[in-house]
Amino acid sequence: MATSYKVAIDAGHGSNTAGKRTPPLPKDIDVNKDGKIDIKKGEQYREHYASVGVAYHLNRELQRCGFTTMRTGWDDDNAYNDPDTAIADRQKTIANAKCDYCISIHFNAYGDGKSFNSAEGFGVYIHDKYPGQSKKLAETVLKHLAGGSKQKNRGVKTEALGMCNCSSMGVKAAIICELAFMTNEYEAVNLMANEDYWKECAREICKGLCEFTGVKYVEETPEKKTIYRVQVGAFANKSNAEKLVAELKKKGYDAIIVKAQQ
């Protein structure tokens, strides 16, 4: 069932934005667990790559639940070729599209960015002067984020940031989700550079928006697997079927009778 809500999914920064990356990582990392190393030891992983990862999964989640979505700061699942769109342009795009809500995805940082430190956790920013209904949305999303990977919950913070300004974007609520610290070694390695965590956050943010808007959350349907059955006989007469099953069982086969209409 389609809802009438339109959601802007914003991915922070651009592929080549200066700063906005982890300090050099301490080991090789396979982000999507496909057996291939995506980040080599010593490389710095960029905030935008992880943000697009979350945004991509959030887009799928929201669409499955019936929301209409649009993207700002990213255009597809390729996080490597996005320019850093100016905040004012992102705001204008969202206002022109008459979005109801804006969710901006980021990862946090603390310190000079050259080495790791102990600042940690997730939090949500809302605007100090133009928050609309963002506080309630932020609290609902945080509740779901807190139910996932064990992390410090930094709560709702207010600041005059462009991507949570409900007035300039013409939205009912706008939140900036800071999902982990890229300057915290544990969070960078295990959460930010981990597609399972991207999916988890996307699911939790979507559940938060669903609860906030009263839209029913639709679970992902597991992929259907093909199975192959072996048939050794088909009978119109049930007792003939039972005879064959008994014979097969005697030979050690786990045979059963399946009733079917011809």
Task: Pick the stretch among 9-17, 52-60, 169-177, 218-226 that binds Zn ion (CB under 5 A).
Answer: 9-17
Shortest distance (Å) from residue 70 CB to Zn ion = 20
Shortest distance (Å) from residue 226 CB to Zn ion = 43
Q: What is the 3-state secondary structure (H, E, C) of 70-131?
A: EEECCCCCCCCCCCCCCHHHHHHHHHHCCCCEEEEEEEECCCCCCCCCCCCCEEEEECCCCC
Q: Which of 21, 106, 144, 199 binds Zn ion (CB under 5 A)?
A: 106
E strand spans, the chain: 6-11, 68-72, 101-108, 122-126, 153-158, 173-181
Task: Pick the stretch among 11-19, 92-100, 119-127, 232-240 that binds Zn ion (CB under 5 A).
Answer: 11-19
CA triplet 83, 207, 166: central angle to 5 degrees? 55
Q: Given the complex with Zn ion, which of 106 and 199 has the nearer CB atom? A: 106
Spatial separation of the C-alpha atoms in residues 203 and 186, rounded to whole Å:
22
Q: Given the complex with Zn ion, which of 30 and 84 has the nearer CB atom? A: 84
Cα of first residue to Cα of last residue in the chain, in angstroms, is 36
Q: Given the complex with Zn ion, which of 179 and 210 has the nearer CB atom? A: 179
Q: Which of 6, 12, 181, 202 binds Zn ion (CB under 5 A)?
A: 12
φ, ψ of residue 103 in degrees (nearest 5): -120, 115
Shortest distance (Å) from residue 140 CB to Zn ion = 22
Q: Given the complex with Zn ion, which of 57 and 106 has the nearer CB atom? A: 106
Handedness of CA 217, 55, 101, 205 (dihedral sign): positive
Size of the site for Zn ion (CB under 5 A): 2
Contacts of 227 (CB under 8 A, 6+ apart): none
Shortest distance (Å) from residue 192 CB to Zn ion = 11
Task: Pick the stretch among 4-12, 55-63, 82-90, 127-135 that binds Zn ion (CB under 5 A).
Answer: 4-12
For tokens 């301490």, name the residue: 26
Q: Examine residue 208 and tell whether it contacts Zn ion (CB under 5 A).
A: no
Q: Given the complex with Zn ion, which of 6 and 20 has the nearer CB atom? A: 20
Under 8 Å between Cβ of 41 and 26: yes
What does the binding site for Zn ion look like in residue numbers (CB under 5 A)?
A: 12, 106
